[in-house]
A and B are shown apart, each in its own frame.
Chain A
Amino acid sequence: MKMLTRLAARAALPGTRRALATPLTTPRAGFSSLGHFPGTNMPYVNELVFRDPKENDLIPCFRIMNEQGDIVDGAQDPELGRDICTQIYTNMIRLNSMDNVFYDAQRQGRISFYMTSHGEEGIQFGSASAIRLSDMVFAQYREPGVLMWRGFSLENFADQCFSNQGGHGKGRQMPVHYGSVELNYHTISSPLATQIPHAVGAAYSFKLAKEERIAVCFFGEGAASEGDFHAALNFASTKECPVLFFCRNNGFAISTPTKDQFRGDGIASRGAGYGIPIMRVDGNDFLAVHEATRHAREYILKHGRPVLIEAMSYRQGHHSTSDDSTRYREVAEIKHWKETCDPIDRTKRYLTRRGWLTEEQDQHIRDTERMNVLAALQKAETKGPPALETLFEDVYDHKLPHLLEQEQEMLEHVAKYPDHYAAGH
């Protein structure tokens, strides 16, 4: 908690060379604006001060363990215990297995599209394990691990990717656009950053209803360039909403490196400008992510303010199955991250050093998870598509007359050319 406030204060005080005596804040109670600018209590200076954010200290990155899985000097092992750590590791392997198998399935043309989470497993399970199921998640698309942690089964994932009748979304959206009302995970949509103000509105709803829950919003560093990011943070701050903004900074938005995305100190530095407490964390360290998220959640509920976490990571995989990332970055760079900083490897070392995992157990987990993924995939593949009539459902709360009419038109047309449409279906 201390760290959180300290970091926030530091970021709110740019240009430490000639730091302001008091940070820019809202006026003190009873403050009269006479003689001052409205909404401020800033002091005057008689020297021309030009503040260059490049002179600011970089916001440090919080970590608990190093690449070898050892607790770093001065850090405190949160001692989450064997059960939860093993569970996190097993889920990481499950997600990784799903990614490998589903990615190949797309290459074989069995599903139309896929996006892997390679390298971001620490972010997903570290954060998911630190929030409550009642907290409402609004995600971008590279956070299936959060949903997996909440109980979305391999079969659920496979059904959605195959657009079959078992899929919760009735086959309407592209693969990886998961969602679950029971698991408080709003359905993913493709337009980037649109979910960020949604999370704020939902959080405001929880606040008014006096519910002890927060909204958690995930997004990438590229999405943070959208106007909706700005809108959301400013609304959250001014309306004091219990929302956790969780940025996955993995270095790339498709082919665009961060140097083409922004020139400030990442995403975290922006929070301060909105009056939002911030944290930067090593996203490949699941312990650090877990602790940062847990503290943020407590802080949000205690103080009724939003928090911004920026988790640093590296997108090891291609952006999606429609992307070949070696066209814009060196294979050696990808290899470096895979070999030295992989969150799964790091978690494994942490578990192994504690005697919580042997090579044999590891192999067993990997074999089991892979088999389960393959079984889910095969099962999903055999389920047929949703009924044709569902095409017209859920546009509105019920099928309106013009939709019934269009449905009838379609059914009659399809009945006229059954061979053609059966082949395509």
Chain B
Amino acid sequence: MVMSLRPLRASSSALQRTLRRAASTAALETKQMNLFTAINDAMRVAMATDPSAVVFGEDVAFGGVFRCSVGLKDEFGEDRVFNSPLCEQGIAGFAIGYAATGRTAIAEIQFADYIFPAFDQIVNEAAKYRYRSGGEFHCGKLTIRAPYGAVGHGGHYHSQSPEAYFSHTPGLKVVIPRDPIKAKGLLLASIRDPNPVVFLEPKALYRASVADVPVGEYTEELGKAEIVKRGEDVTVVGWGAQMRVLEEAVSYAEELGISCELIDLQTIYPWDVDTIEQSVRKTGRLVVSHEAPKTGGFAAEIASTIQDRCFLSLEAPIQRICGYDTPFPLVFEKYYVPDALKNFEAIKKVCNY
């Protein structure tokens, strides 16, 4: 089977469905936004509705290296939208302290690849702040945003997907949106959630993903997966930028008559086990795909949980289509990423097992 891959910019059918649903359920006024303007809009709403909210990080004052904070300093003042010194552990620590006074901190780490200097602050401090104090203190109004994932030429340190590291940390929530509508709704929900959230933004979609996004207030529920497309033969699970890849893989499979149920996990941790479980009980087959390396990746958690819950329903071994267990390469990115063809092969494999 020979096929040409669709360009990234092509708007997906799933996206159109989301749009239609958003428009029909609430009859909301919408405005065309890409992913970075949707993020920007979410922060604007958060700051306008919460005078304690601050946005800071490296280079956010002039609008951010990905333009996510454009205009916010002019609108809300330099005390509330400001540059930090270049120091990720400082950004996270400062944000925790700010949030621990009961006020809203929206901190930006320039690339998820550079969140590791803040790992101690996020894992040992932010995540455990409430538990260790017996509930007396918490930093629940903390959100840490970071662009993540492959971007075509990011090499080792502008491509990583670190969600699995944080999903091993009780006390944190880890959220990844797949498009501008979700990005705004999930980010607003993350900012307002009374728990610290690591919010990873698919930087490949900052400009590439465009949609009519509701203006003003709305949130998407955390901890809920979304069934993007209903199907009968196989369940396909992913999140973030990988959803586009999976939509493409699913469309190839459908051309062969395979009916796929495509699910966007949305909240990586704590994740929506029930939705995946119900789907796999119906289809009997599961493919999980993420950009991050396979070993210790979050697909392993999903696979083992579903194997435990759906043992008698499974018709084939669960397939994990992931990045390889290497650092993220530059020149071989095309070969490294779990692209549509690799997922297409996995879908065929579980169906022909």
Whether both chains belong to one complex is answered with: yes
Residues of A within 8 A of B97 (CB): 138, 197-205, 215
Chain A interface size, under 10 / 10 to 19 / 20 to 34 / 35 or more: 35 or more
Some 21 contacts from A to B, beta carbons below 8 A apart, are A138-B97, A167-B134, A168-B134, A169-B132, A172-B131, A172-B132, A187-B132, A191-B120, A197-B92, A204-B98, A208-B52, A208-B79, A209-B103, A227-B89, A231-B85, A231-B94, A232-B93, A238-B84, A394-B133, A397-B130, A397-B195
B270 interface residue, CB < 8 Å from A? yes
Known A-B contacts A181-B136, A189-B125, A197-B97; the reply to A235 vs B85 at CB < 8 A is yes
- Please state if A231 and B80 are interface contacts (CB–CB under 8 Å): no
- Please state if B136 and A197 are interface contacts (CB–CB under 8 Å): no
A407 interface residue, CB < 8 Å from B? no
> Which residue from B103, B105, B128 sits with its C-beta under 8 Å from A189?
B128
Q: Which of B128-166 contact A (CB under 8 A)?
A: 128-138, 140
Q: A71 to nearest B CB, angstroms?
A: 39
> Which residue from A208, A239, A395 sits with its C-beta under 8 Å from B130?
A395
> Which residue from B54, B84, B117, B133 sits with its C-beta under 8 Å from A179?
B133
Interface centre among A189, A209, A231 (most CB of B within 10 A): A231
- Please state if A189 and B93 are interface contacts (CB–CB under 8 Å): no
Q: Which of A231-253 contact B (CB under 8 A)?
A: 231-232, 234-235, 238-239
Q: Which of B47-93 contact A (CB under 8 A)?
A: 52, 54, 79-80, 82, 84-85, 87, 89-90, 92-93
- Please state if B136 and A187 are interface contacts (CB–CB under 8 Å): yes
- Please state if B100 and A393 are interface contacts (CB–CB under 8 Å): no
Residues of A within 8 A of B79 (CB): 208
Bound-state CA distance A186–B89 (Å) is 19
A180 interface residue, CB < 8 Å from B? yes
A173 interface residue, CB < 8 Å from B? yes
- Please state if A172 and B134 are interface contacts (CB–CB under 8 Å): yes
- Please state if A394 and B93 are interface contacts (CB–CB under 8 Å): no
Q: B166 to nearest A CB, angstroms?
A: 14
Q: Which 9 pairs from chain A and chain B are nearest by CB?
A: A201-B97, A197-B93, A231-B90, A198-B97, A187-B133, A201-B98, A201-B94, A205-B101, A181-B136
Residue of A nearest to B272 (CB): A401
B-side interface residues toward A, CB under 8 Å?
52, 54, 79-80, 82, 84-85, 87, 89-90, 92-101, 103, 105, 117, 120-121, 124-125, 128-138, 140, 170-171, 173, 194-195, 223, 270, 273
- Please state if B87 and A394 are interface contacts (CB–CB under 8 Å): no
Known A-B contacts A189-B132, A400-B270; the reply to A208 vs B80 at CB < 8 A is yes
> Which residue from A136, A197, A400 sits with its C-beta under 8 Å from B94?
A197
A2 interface residue, CB < 8 Å from B? no
16 new A-B pairs (CB below 8 Å) besides A228-B90, A235-B90? A169-B133, A179-B137, A187-B136, A197-B96, A198-B94, A199-B97, A200-B94, A201-B96, A201-B98, A208-B54, A209-B52, A227-B87, A231-B87, A396-B171, A397-B138, A402-B273
Residues of A within 8 A of B138 (CB): 397
Bound-state CA distance A125–B173 (Å) is 40
A206 interface residue, CB < 8 Å from B? yes
Q: B168 to nearest A CB, angstroms?
A: 14
Residue of B nearest to A203 (CB): B97
Known A-B contacts A197-B90, A235-B84; the reply to A169 vs B134 at CB < 8 A is yes
